Amino acid sequence: MILIDGCQYANWSEKIFREMNAGGVSAVHVTICYHEDFRETVENMADWNRMFERFPDLIVPGRTAEDVRRAHAEGRTAIVFGFQNCSPIEDDIGLVEICHQLGARFMQLTYNNQSLLATGCYEENDTGVTRMGRQVIAEMNRVGLVVDMSHSGERSTLEAIEISDRPIAITHANPAFWHPALSNKSDDVLKALGDSGGMLKFSLYPHHLKEKSDCTVESFCDMVARTADLMGIDHIGLGSDLC
Amino acid sequence: MILIDGCQYANWSEKIFREMNAGGVSAVHVTICYHEDFRETVENMADWNRMFERFPDLIVPGRTAEDVRRAHAEGRTAIVFGFQNCSPIEDDIGLVEICHQLGARFMQLTYNNQSLLATGCYEENDTGVTRMGRQVIAEMNRVGLVVDMSHSGERSTLEAIEISDRPIAITHANPAFWHPALSNKSDDVLKALGDSGGMLKFSLYPHHLKEKSDCTVESFCDMVARTADLMGIDHIGLGSDLC
């Protein structure tokens, strides 16, 4: 079995890389942007390039499924870049492919607030996927950048599932039936996600948990089982997020 | 035989791509930057991505020797990105690898004027490769970005040949013994280039030619033969440049 961490943010270090190797984590989707613009995101990528150079025995760039399989066979961890926002592409659709060339494999269309592409889950009014958003989803489908709607609003998320030719992901959220955090998802969203072949990764971020940091393992596992019944067991996984 | 154009600048179009295919040009080193900074250079790369998408039967990205061999076998032309200046890396050595990841394979350390890395051939005083220049050459060697000294001064060029662990290129220049243009090269430079395993590509830019646009084929070929005697026939090729 290949173990993948569906979404993670941390103060990355050799110590953490060694822990991931020891824990058999063959790949991790790493958040490398929340609000950074393109140039600032490239700076973060350059920082990761330095880590790949410093710790080649522990981590490798994760660009393809083959990279993950190779990391698994070698006991290393593949680092898969993801954006929690569309800020790195600014207002330039050409940057979608450029970011993909630089290793990005996940991009959220929004981070809580309205973006140029869609509406975030903290807005009162969700106007759905914008005109630019439709074009960007098509471009993301073309180049192979996964649409991630973890922090998006209900309507935007349902529309993204409908518009995208490829399955989308929600890399860190839980069902709203269990805990009504603003970024947790309704039954409608979870069913549409499962029916379209997409993936939900559960979140361990305290604000997404029932009883927050006092959440029990029993309560969490019961929620996972109920979500599996709702979506199908093939469409769920575990992600954690410290944002 | 695989035919490669050593350096080219043009108002690229489907017509030119078809002419290159018809002429059996399997690869061309394309100038995509003269004075652009990083963000502007990325814009040029995104423009090329659109051309790769529009004309997949005519052109392909040229990143490796295998890409060139495949283009040759398929009758297409591989496009190899090159910078005539170091402006795309600004003052950030991390951008060397980022530019390489985006497909750059040649970078001049200077374009006529002094840069952060070395001295251009139009300056009166050539102080050689700078402290940052030494670090950047090492990084270019590491990632596989060819050092190009076409528009650099005498001392800077000799030092770059000496400092670089990998052979360097002069992608568009002629011998100064034939025509004393400021970017044409001395016998000392040509000999050092040949001895170090580097490559000279001759230039068809009128200002680099004896008698400029009235240069005769006989005069040009005689110059090529004399340069081959000076450097060794394995170290010369043909490049043209409209800059």
C-alpha distances in angstroms, B237 versus B70, B145, B170, B200, B225? Answer: 21, 19, 10, 6, 11
pLDDT score of A239 more than 90? no
Q: Inspect the interface and report whether the beta carbons of A45 and B98 lie closer than 8 Å.
A: yes
Mean pLDDT of B82-88: 98
With b for 16 or more beta-carbon neighbours within 10 A and e for fewer, the B28-66 pattern comes to: bbbbbbbebebbebbebbbebbebeeebeebbbbbbeee
Q: Which of the four pLDDT bands, split at 50, 70 and 90, describes residue A1?
A: confident
Q: What are phi and psi of A76, to 5 degrees?
A: -105, 180
pLDDT at A240: 47
Q: Is the pLDDT confidence value at B49 over 70?
A: yes
- A97 and B46: CB-CB below 8 Å? yes
- The DSSP line for chain A is --EEEEEE-----HHHHHHHHHTTEEEEEEEEESS--HHHHHHHHHHHHHHHHH-TTTEEE--SHHHHHHHHHHT-EEEEEEESSSGGGTT-THHHHHHHHTTEEEEES-SSS--SSS-BTT-S----S-HHHHHHHHHHHHHT-EEE-TTB-HHHHHHHHHH-SS--EE-S--BTTT---TTSB-HHHHHHHHHTT-EEEE---GGGSTTGGG--HHHHHHHHHHHHHHH-GGGEEE-----
Average pLDDT on B219-229 reads 96
CA distance B96 to chain A (A): 9
Average pLDDT over residues A94-123: 98
ipTM of the complex: 0.89
- Using the Cβ of B46 and the Cβ atoms of chain A, whether some distance falls under 8 Å is answered with yes
| Average pLDDT value for residue range B48-72 | 97
Nearest to A62 by CA among A146, A122, A135: A146
Please determine, for residue B227, whether its predicted confidence score (pLDDT) is greater than 90: yes
Domains of chain A: residue spans and CATH: 3-238 (3.20.20.140)
Confidence band of B239 (pLDDT split at 50, 70, 90): low
Is A232's pLDDT higher than 70? yes
Mean pLDDT computed over B217-224: 97
Contact B102 A97 (CB under 8 A): no
Distance CA A225, CA A104 (A): 31
pLDDT for A242: 38
Identify all chain B residues contacting A39, using CB atoms and an 8 Å cutoff: 38-39
Taking the Cβ of residue A224 and every Cβ of chain B, the question of whether any pair is shorter than 8 Å is answered with: no
Beta-ladder partners of B30: B8, B81
In chain B, pLDDT over 70 holds for what percent of residues?
A: 98
pLDDT in tens, B135-187: 999 999 999 999 999 999 999 999 999 999 999 999 999 999 999 999 999 99
Look at residue A9 and tell me whether its pLDDT is greater than 60.
Answer: yes
